[in-house]
Amino acid sequence: MGKLLIHPLLQEIAGIFTRRGKQVFLVGGAVRDLLRGRQAQDWDLATDALPQEVMALFPRVIPTGIKHGTVTVHFKGRYLEVTTYRTESGYHDGRRPDQVTYASRIEEDLSRRDFTMNAIALPLPTGPLVDPFNGIADIRARRIRCVGNPQERFAEDGLRPVRALRFASQMGFEVEKATLEAIPQALKTTEKVSPERIRDELDKILASPQPSRAFLLMEKTGLLELLLPELAACRNIEQKGFHRFDVLDHSLLACDAAAREKAPGLVRAAALLHDIGKPLSRSLDAHGVWTFYQHEQVSARLSRDLLIRFRYPNAVIDGIVHLIREHMFHYEENWSDGAVRRFIIRVGEEKLNNLYLLRRADAYATSAQELPRDFLLPLITRVDAVLAKSRALSLRDLPVSGKDLLGIGIKPGPPMGRILSALLEAVVEDPALNTRETLLTIAGNLKERYG
Ligand code: ATP
Ligand code: MG
């Protein structure tokens, strides 16, 4: 292994510790990533200095997790987590240690960490790597292995099994046998983990290059049934027609396809969940073929419940559920311009691109065949052409306002609202009507009916 390149800013920070006779190590993901030849995004430091001492060393320190010995140092535009060496004991709820005890040696601190690849310390400003659990060898072998006894480590913290699978899909590593085999016995502990912590792992899985890796391992170990039972229920739900896969494999392929296209997390989540309503909406038609009539509505409903369970923010939930609800559009060339405009309004102009990405992922995943180059092109071209012709898509685009309608004697409140909607509908159908004069005439006529 060549010499590791240490960022000059880290050297500078290290000097601040060592001049006061304190030890400091780079630890965790940053060391793991350096050993894999990548620059780390965040820096975690471990030190023998107590949190109060760290706070005295730097002018800008936030006591983010001071109970657990962690403070955040803000230094030259960077935020670093600095943790005093510690051991942990008494994980009574399987979530967080009850007590934190400071340790005097870095080795003790490393022994509380989850995986060998995450339990390597790099002394700053310089010195040989501290690797008491052979993490370097495991990184070379691309292997995820618990520090110590996997059953005990998972019983302490039920998030660790999920982290193991998340790292597997992020880095393409294997989970070592004993570590993997300990997961089914830890399900009861994982069940107690807070939904927010699981959600953060799910997001990292979705952001990884091949999310199916984690989800298939989740299935194998029972985590899928525990955390995402709606998805687990899609196994062996067979589909006919163009489909080559059952609903679970189809969903995982769609999610991977979205990841390959570097689609945003929202689209990847929608790809994963877009068909979870199929097991519930399945029925046999007169020819003995499975149909999934209106499954997108059921998928949308189940997805909302699932995402609420993991405490996703409402805006995120709405975004994902909307894509799922709209994923079954069927464009044909004989759509009128009005139909195209209604499609744009229903989806939302700024969400069209995500819906196209979802459809590409979905289509790829029916047969795992590369899509034709012009896939969706007729619709996209048509949408662009229609938008170029007229951008009258919302009330804001109309040249008349509520005030103008007041002027011709239409009362505010529900009647006015209905007339404005009717004007918009008329313009969406025929943009030539979108002049002030014409709309006021139409409004005048409608006054009798709605007013
Ligand atoms: P990344 O930041 O890329 O997701 P990471 O390894 O830095 O990966 P963090 O969650 O930032 O992960 O945690 C930093 C370090 O803290 C880990 O490398 C590991 O040593 C330790 N750690 C984090 N979570 C746990 C846990 N649940 N149990 C034991 N050790 C943990
Ligand atoms: Mg990290």
For position 90, what pLDDT does the model report?
57
Indicate if the pLDDT at residue 306 is higher than 90: yes
Please give the residue that has the higher pLDDT: either 303 or 409: 303
Residue 86 CB less than 6 A away from ligand 1: no
Span 344-356, average pLDDT: 96
User: Tens digit of pLDDT for each residue in 263-303?
Assistant: 999 999 999 999 999 999 888 888 888 888 889 999 999 99
Residue 118 CB less than 6 A away from ligand 1: yes
Which residue intervals of 58-149 are DSSP H helices? 106-111, 135-140
375 alpha carbon to ligand 2 midpoint, in Å? 39
Residue 248 sits in the same domain as residue 363:
yes
Residue 251 sits in the same domain as residue 382:
yes
Structural domain tally of the chain? Answer: 4
User: Tens digit of pLDDT for each residue in 148-172?
Assistant: 999 999 999 999 999 999 999 999 9
CA distance 311 to 17: 40
For position 449, what pLDDT does the model report?
79
Please give the residue that has the higher pLDDT: either 447 or 113: 113
Residue 59 sits in the same domain as residue 96:
yes
User: Which protein residue's CA is at the shortest distance from atom 14 of ligand 1?
Assistant: 28
Neighbours of ion ligand 2 (CB under 5 A): 29, 42
In a domain, 1, yes or no: no
Among candidate residues 202, 227, 252, the one where a domain is terminated = 227
CA-to-CA dists, residue 356 to 43, 362, 427, angstroms: 37, 10, 26
User: Which protein residue's CA is at the shortest distance from atom 21 of ligand 1?
Assistant: 113
29 alpha carbon to ligand 2 midpoint, in Å? 5
User: Tens digit of pLDDT for each residue in 211-250?
Assistant: 999 999 999 999 999 999 999 999 999 887 777 899 999 9
Indicate if the pLDDT at residue 1 is higher than 60: no
Span 338-343, average pLDDT: 95
Indicate if the pLDDT at residue 110 is higher than 80: yes
Residue 160 CB less than 6 A away from ligand 1: yes
In a domain, 172, yes or no: yes
165 alpha carbon to ligand 1 midpoint, in Å? 13
Residue 382 sits in the same domain as residue 240:
yes
Position in ligand 1 atom list of the atom nearest CA 156: 28
Residue 399 sits in the same domain as residue 383:
no
Model-level pTM? 0.92
Span 160-189, average pLDDT: 98
What radius of gyration do the chain's Cα atoms show?
Answer: 28
Q: Which domain holds residue 325?
A: 236-389
CATH of the domain at 70: 3.30.460.10
Lowest-confidence pick of 134-143, 285-294, 314-323: 285-294
User: Which protein residue's CA is at the shortest distance from atom 18 of ligand 1?
Assistant: 28
Residue 280 sits in the same domain as residue 367:
yes
User: Tens digit of pLDDT for each residue in 60-96?
Assistant: 999 999 888 999 999 999 999 999 999 876 565 666 6
Residue 67: exposure state from Cβ atoms within 10 A (0-12, 13-18, ≥19): exposed
Contact 121, 100 (CB under 8 A): no
For position 97, what pLDDT does the model report?
62
pLDDT confidence band for 98 (50 / 70 / 90): low
For position 389, what pLDDT does the model report?
86
Among candidate residues 108, 133, 158, the one where a domain is terminated = 133
Residue 378 sits in the same domain as residue 243:
yes
For position 95, what pLDDT does the model report?
61
